[in-house]
């Protein structure tokens, strides 16, 4: 087997950051400028497509030959570019992505960032030069008298820069190969590589969008926003009422009280007061409405939609470092508002018809309605249907199975009413009494918030964050809810402490420790310079925690930490963790593996997945291809590596995406 490492430099007038790689590549003016490669570790060669050079025949043949494994950093991009160059979709199984390999091994995305995390030498001047060269040759330029009013820079416009650009392209291949060499100590399992290949197909398949509705929503959103801004300016006299600084100062002057912030929750609390003047009340209402008028997701669809009316590249494989779950890209389907509006069909038609008055009369708040309708912009093309199916309470099922909490497993094997069952266990009330119409039904709310907040070692703060106070539960009741839930779920509680103790043990002493259905171990590779704590999941996949250490936390107890990407600052730094958090990582990772298994089964059955969200899959197919029952049966079938994990699923069939 031969190995071909590749890096491309390309041109397209489409902004890749906002529109995505698929639309960038689909642009009529897309072209490959440079093709740098190394065959089996030999010195890097750069083929200058922009100046008429051609690939050597051996390399051209290698692009489709199963005897050559193609490697690239963020390989879906090179795969997409070369598929267009060849004129057909290249076989995904012949490709390996070094960026994904780094993510699997616990590192971050980005060639430079991963190289830095691995300790590779970094020439910042060269890096900055490279970015400047990309801006110069790979994107359109602004016409000016100085550049002869051209809209693009070609090699002949600056031969010296072009030569530097070729060297930069070659260096990327060298860096990619060195990263791959360092990561060779951490192999990607074959079944996870197969999931990556399936993801490549799903992302290139894309999902159809209703552009008539998108354009209507953008027009209505702009109309409402302009109207609200005009009214706010008239009331307040501010030149920008949407400015937090200006509005806060105005509110302080009107109320005589300090306004520290204007977050959604702060505004809601201020609105609830009964001593506001009419002007203050209306300004707060407008602030609340303006907070809902964001049409960013509609904007994102408009920018990313390909010429055939589909949006592609919505998912990032292994985007969540700690668990391996997918992350959203472009439209961020992982974070869409729910749909409560009824009837949805009428609302969509009114938006398409730009019928602002009817929409307001029937549904009330235009911004809120548009926000809810964003899901429905994703549609089945003519003659097709969408089949949506999602796992029922997947995390609650997985944590019950992982901990061996038998009473909970019995709930999922039978009626599945975990909130009622949890309340029954916590308060010693017969399950049959916790139903609508009975006073005991009030306990369900406590069971629900406890289930949502406490599974990963959360306490009263977690209950508050999950909305316990907003549900009307008194704050003085919260410690009792925590105690009762932990007493009712002693195996889950014990699992937190067992995970914590096992991690401390293997970091300080080495070796491996089995905890229920997972194995925690310390893994070194002195040759490649890697040092990790790993958790082997029941599927055989591993979670990696780079350079683990034991320190001391604020309570004087051992504190587990590792090197990772801080999700807030986006910097590579030391991150603390603990038993409950490790349990959360494992539960979400196992749930992710259940979803990945289901996707493979659906694809094998000829049911094309167009996107998925954590525990939910969306299929685009002919009406006679399958029923909802067929899909649910495939998704809920026993998992080979966890046959006793009780799975359940449900869903719907329709013409557009929604949240039941």
Q: What percent of the chain has pLDDT over 70?
A: 98
Residue 355: the pLDDT is: 96
Give the chain's length.
660
Q: 219-263 pLDDT, tens per residue?
A: 999 999 999 999 999 999 999 988 889 999 999 999 888 887 888
Q: Which residues contact 194 (CB under 8 A, 6 or more apart)?
A: 93, 600
Residue 125: the pLDDT is: 44
How far apart CA 448 and CA 444 sit, in angstroms, is: 6
Question: Cα dist. 121→45, 164, 353 in Å?
Answer: 22, 19, 58
CA 76 to chain centre: 17
Residue 180: the pLDDT is: 94
Using alpha carbons, select from 354, 357, 298, 309 the residue that is nearest to residue 331: 298
How far apart CA 631 and CA 643 sit, in angstroms, is: 19
How far apart CA 179 and CA 176 sit, in angstroms, is: 5
The distance between the two most distant Cα atoms of the chain, rounded to a whole number of Å, is 83
Residue 321: the pLDDT is: 84
What average pLDDT does the segment 492-509 reach?
A: 97
Residue 123: the pLDDT is: 58
Is the pLDDT confidence value at 126 over 70?
A: no
Using alpha carbons, select from 513, 599, 59 the residue that is nearest to residue 315: 599
How far apart CA 458 and CA 540 sit, in angstroms, is: 28
How far apart CA 247 and CA 250 sit, in angstroms, is: 5
Question: Cα dist. 373→213, 341, 363, 366, 369 in Å?
Answer: 9, 8, 12, 10, 6
Whether the bond into 343 is cis, omega within 30 of 0: yes
Tokens encoding 648: 């359940």
Question: Cα dist. 475→261, 265, 487 in Å?
Answer: 23, 18, 20
- Residue-wise over 525-541: b if at least 16 C-beta within 10 A, else e? eeeeebbbbbbbbbbeb
Residue with tokens 């009030």, as numbered in its chain: 442
Tokens encoding 46: 């750069």
Is the pLDDT confidence value at 463 over 60?
A: yes
Burial degree of 449 (CB within 10 A; 0-12, 13-18, 19+): buried
Tokens encoding 471: 């549900």
Q: Which residues contact 308 (CB under 8 A, 6 or more apart)?
A: none
What average pLDDT does the segment 553-568 reach?
A: 86
The CA-based angle 399-653-326, given to 5 degrees, is 40
Q: 419-440 pLDDT, tens per residue?
A: 999 999 999 999 999 999 999 9
Is the pLDDT confidence value at 565 over 80?
A: yes
Is the pLDDT confidence value at 638 over 80?
A: yes
Residue 529: the pLDDT is: 79
The CA-based angle 179-122-8, given to 5 degrees, is 55
Mean pLDDT of the chain: 93
How far apart CA 176 and CA 73 sit, in angstroms, is: 6
Q: State phi, psi for 565 to the nearest 5 degrees.
A: -90, 120
What 3-state DSSP class applies to 474?
Answer: coil
Number of CB atoms found within 10 A of residue 577's CB: 21
Pick the most confident of 23-37, 256-270, 292-306, 560-574: 23-37
Using alpha carbons, select from 232, 230, 216, 263 the residue that is nearest to residue 366: 216
Is the pLDDT confidence value at 3 over 90?
A: yes
What average pLDDT does the segment 621-626 reach?
A: 96
Q: How confident is the model at residue 526 (pLDDT cuts 50, 70, 90)?
A: confident
Is the pLDDT confidence value at 328 over 50?
A: yes
The structural domains of the chain, with segments of one domain joined by +, span 2-206, 207-311+320-379, 406-488, 587-654
What 3-state DSSP class applies to 382?
Answer: coil
How far apart CA 325 and CA 146 sit, in angstroms, is: 49
How far apart CA 507 and CA 304 sit, in angstroms, is: 45
Superfamily of domain 2-206: Ribonuclease H-like superfamily/Ribonuclease H (3.30.420.10)
Q: How confident is the model at residue 294 (pLDDT cuts 50, 70, 90)?
A: low
How far apart CA 104 and CA 544 sit, in angstroms, is: 7
Question: Cα dist. 245→93, 234, 248 in Å?
Answer: 54, 18, 5
What average pLDDT does the segment 300-321 reach?
A: 95
Residue 127: the pLDDT is: 58
Is the pLDDT confidence value at 124 over 50?
A: no
The separation between the first and the last C-alpha atoms of the chain, rounded to the nearest angstrom, is: 49
Residue 115: the pLDDT is: 82
């Amino acid at each position: 087997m031969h190995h071909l490492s590749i890096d491309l430099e390309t041109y397209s007038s489409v902004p890749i950051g906002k529109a995505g790689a698929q639309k960038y590549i689909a642009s009529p003016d897309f072209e490959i400028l440079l093709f740098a490669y190394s065959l089996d570790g030999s010195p890097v060669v750069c083929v200058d497509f922009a100046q008429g050079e051609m690939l050597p025949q051996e390399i051209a043949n290698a692009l489709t030959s199963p005897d050559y494994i193609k490697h690239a950093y963020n390989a879906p991009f090179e795969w997409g570019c070369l598929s267009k160059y060849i004129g057909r979709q290249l076989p995904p199984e012949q490709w390996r992505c070094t960026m994904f390999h780094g993510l699997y091994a616990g590192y971050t995305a980005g060639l430079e960032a991963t190289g830095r995390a691995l300790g590779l030498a970094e020439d910042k001047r060269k890096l900055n030069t490279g970015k400047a060269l990309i801006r110069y040759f790979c994107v359109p330029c602004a016409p000016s008298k100085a550049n002869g009013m051209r809209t693009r820079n070609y090699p002949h416009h600056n031969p010296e820069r072009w030569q530097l650009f070729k060297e930069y392209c070659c260096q990327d291949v060298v860096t990619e190969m060195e990263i791959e060499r360092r990561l060779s100590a951490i192999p990607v399992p074959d079944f996870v590589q197969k999931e990556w290949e399936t993801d490549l197909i799903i992302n290139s398949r894309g999902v159809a969008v209703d552009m008539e509705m998108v354009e209507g929503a953008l027009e209505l959103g702009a109309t409402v926003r302009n109207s609200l801004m005009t009214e706010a300016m008239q009331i307040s006299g501010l030149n920008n009422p949407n400015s937090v600084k200006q509005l806060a100062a105005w509110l302080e002057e009107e109320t005589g009280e300090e306004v520290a912030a204007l977050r959604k929750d702060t505004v809601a609390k201020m609105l609830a007061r009964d001593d506001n003047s009419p002007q203050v009340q209306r300004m707060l209402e407008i602030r609340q409405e303006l907070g809902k008028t964001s049409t960013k997701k509609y904007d994102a669809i408009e920018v990313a939609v390909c010429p055939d009316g589909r949006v592609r590249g919505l998912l990032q494989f292994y985007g969540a470092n700690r668990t391996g779950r997918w992350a959203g890209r472009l439209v961020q389907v992982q974070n869409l508002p729910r749909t409560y509006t009824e009837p949805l069909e009428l609302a969509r038609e009114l938006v398409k018809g730009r019928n602002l008055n009817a929409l307001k009369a029937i549904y009330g708040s235009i911004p809120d309605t548009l926000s809810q309708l964003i899901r429905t912009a994703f549609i089945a093309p003519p003659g097709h249907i969408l089949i949506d199916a999602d796992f029922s309470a997947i995390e609650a099922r997985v944590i019950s199975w992982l901990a061996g909490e038998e009473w909970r497993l019995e709930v999922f094997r039978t009626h599945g009413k975990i909130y009622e069952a949890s309340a029954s266990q916590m308060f010693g009330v017969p399950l049959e009494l916790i139903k609508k119409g009975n006073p005991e039904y009030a306990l369900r709310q406590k069971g629900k918030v406890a289930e949502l907040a406490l599974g990963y070692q959360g306490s009263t703060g977690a209950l508050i964050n999950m909305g316990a106070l907003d549900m009307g539960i008194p704050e003085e009741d919260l410690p009792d809810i925590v105690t009762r839930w932990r007493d009712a779920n002693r195996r889950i509680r014990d699992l937190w402490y067992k995970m914590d103790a096992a991690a401390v043990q293997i970091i300080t002493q080495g070796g491996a420790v089995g905890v229920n259905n997972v194995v925690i171990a310390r893994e070194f590779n002195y040759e490649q310079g890697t040092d990790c704590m790993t958790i082997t999941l029941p599927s055989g996949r591993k979670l990696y925690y780079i350079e683990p250490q034991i320190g001391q936390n604020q309570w004087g107890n051992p504190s587990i930490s590792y090197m990772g990407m801080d999700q807030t600052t986006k910097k590579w730094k030391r991150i603390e963790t603990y038993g409950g958090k490790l349990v959360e990582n494992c539960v979400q990772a196992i749930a992710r593996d259940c979803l990945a298994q289901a996707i493979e089964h659906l694809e094998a059955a000829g049911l094309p997945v167009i996107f998925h969200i954590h525990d939910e899959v969306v299929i685009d197919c002919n009406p006679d291809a399958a029923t909802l029952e067929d899909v649910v049966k495939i998704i809920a079938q026993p998992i080979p590596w966890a046959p006793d994990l009780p799975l359940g699923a449900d869903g719907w069939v329709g013409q557009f995406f929604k949240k039941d």
